[in-house]
Amino acid sequence: MGSVVRPRVVIIGGGFGGVAAARALRDAPVDITLVDRTNHHLFQPLLYQVATAGLSPGDIAVPIRWLLRRQRNVEVLLAEALAIDPVARSVLLDVEPNTLRYDYLVLAAGARHAYFGRDDWAPLAPGLKTLADAAELRKRFLLSFERAERTADPVERAALQTIVVVGAGPTGVELAGIIPEITHTALRREFRHIDTAKTRVVLVEAGSRVLPAFDPALSDAAARSLRALGVELRLGAPVTAITPYSVTVGGELIPATTVFWAAGNAGAPVARSLSVPLDRAGRVIVEPDLSVAGHPELFVVGDLAHVEIGGALVPGVAPGANQGGAHAGRMIAQRVRGAPTSPFVYHHKGDLATIGRHKAVAALGPIKLSGLIAWWAWLFIHLLYLVGFRNRVSVLLQWGYAYLTFQRGVRLLSAPTLPMEDAVPQVNAA
């Protein structure tokens, strides 16, 4: 029996979109290569918990190989896609073999942070998209208290005990909301020279309300919960300057040495190599079936896709990537058997953001919730979608422990993260 040459599907990215595409092609007569520059699939909605030392990286990430181990038509390649040649139908990789040819491509490479023309802010205000980002945020968060404990200068100490979060979307709100819970409880008994409960948390949003994409009633509820936790809100004013020791918002200079960026997304740079129309955020503008105009074999899904349905953009959230990836996989399967493609239909599952230890806001269909009941909905949905039994049990255990004891166990700094002393700002308040 001779072997039949089956179409080669290349998927770039092992996040929600890429994995959903691979799974949708489980029974299709194709050979799939999934390329990712890390070896793991990451549950990004809980990344803020790793950044604040509540969860271990292993709790919210699983090896992509493990996830797809039973799907025999998939191989996984640890590599970075540097460029795509849509005419030759090939992907340029950073490892041997450097060229990967495809018959169908699913581009699900996601987004990075956008600094709106101020890329010089990136090292001062890191964002949160990967495990490496989370490790960086955790390091800065923990080191700020270590330095505050050492300094004798009250002005420097105040700046070291001020954390500014830029951007009040779900990530910014969740980061800002969890910090007071930690500084008021877990850390408080451990220092001798500072009171960690005096840590200032400032949440900055250029728009007029927190959670701008949510229903205004939920924005109001979230703002109330944040204020009750002691988070200072700065709404309706953009950040105009960031230095190693301050953030300027509107006309106000806030002395602060720790700044987290949650304000904007930019499509992965690999999209630029396609020579197809991108939107202002660097996302690929796709056809109704998620393919690229003129390239019916090339699909873009997830945060890298600009998908307009009925005049509205599909939001860059996990369900959007899941549904888009699955659709692209189904379209490829249809094309392989000679059937036409159909337009993508997006089902909005709702909006969810947690605030601190036991509050949240949620819009699930027509139902709007806030407070403790929304937090339980948030917990239930996140555990439901978290991949892998081990992770679910471990996350529940860690949360149960953290909830009952106010402790956050994963507060580890390795020596190679030091010496950081060249990064210690000298604060000289004007």
Give contact residues for a copy of itself (rule: CB under 8 A): 37-40, 56-59, 61-63, 65-66, 69-70, 75-80, 94-97, 130-132, 135, 142-143, 146, 149-151, 189-193, 388-391, 393-394, 397-398, 401, 405, 407, 409-416, 418-419, 421, 424
Q: Where are the alpha helices (DSSP H) in 120-169?
A: 131-150, 154-160
Sign of CA dihedral 31, 37, 39, 43: negative
Q: Give the nearest distance from C-beta 144 to a copy of itself in angstroms.
A: 12
Q: How far is the CB of 178 from a copy of itself (least distance, A)?
A: 17
Choose between 79 and 233: whose C-beta lies nearer to a copy of itself.
Answer: 79
| C-alpha to C-alpha distances, 97 to 78, 94, 100, 104, 381, nearest whole angstrom | 12, 9, 7, 18, 41
Residue 241 and residue 253: Cα distance in Å, rounded? 9
DSSP 80: -
Inter-axis angle of helices 170-181 and 216-228, nearest 10: 20
Shortest gap between Cβ of 107 and a copy of itself (angstroms)?
17
First and final CA of the chain: distance in angstroms?
A: 82
Nearer to a copy of itself, 155 or 393 (CB): 393
In the complex, the smallest distance separating the C-beta of residue 292 from a copy of itself, rounded to whole angstroms, is 25
Residue 103 near residue 7 (C-beta atoms within 8 A): yes
HEC string for 223-258: HHHHHHCCCEEEECCCEEEEECCEEEECCEEEECCE
Tokens matching residue 236: 């309706």
| Pairwise CA distance, residues 168 & 20, whole Å | 29
**Beta pairing partners, 85:** 90
Is residue 174 flagged as an active site residue?
A: yes
* Crossing angle between the packed helical segments 318-336 and 16-24, to the nearest 10 degrees: 30
| Separation CA 321–CA 123 (nearest Å) | 28
From the list 174, 181, 252, 287, the catalytic residue is 174
Q: Whole-angstrom Cα distance, residue 344 to residue 325? A: 10
CB 198 within 8 A of CB 184: no
CB atoms within 10 A of CB 375: 21
Contact present, 329 and 20 (Cβ < 8 Å): yes
Kind and range of the H or E run holding 8: strand 8-12
Q: How far is the CB of 90 from a copy of itself (least distance, A)?
A: 17
Nearer to a copy of itself, 100 or 363 (CB): 100
Residues carrying an active site annotation: 174
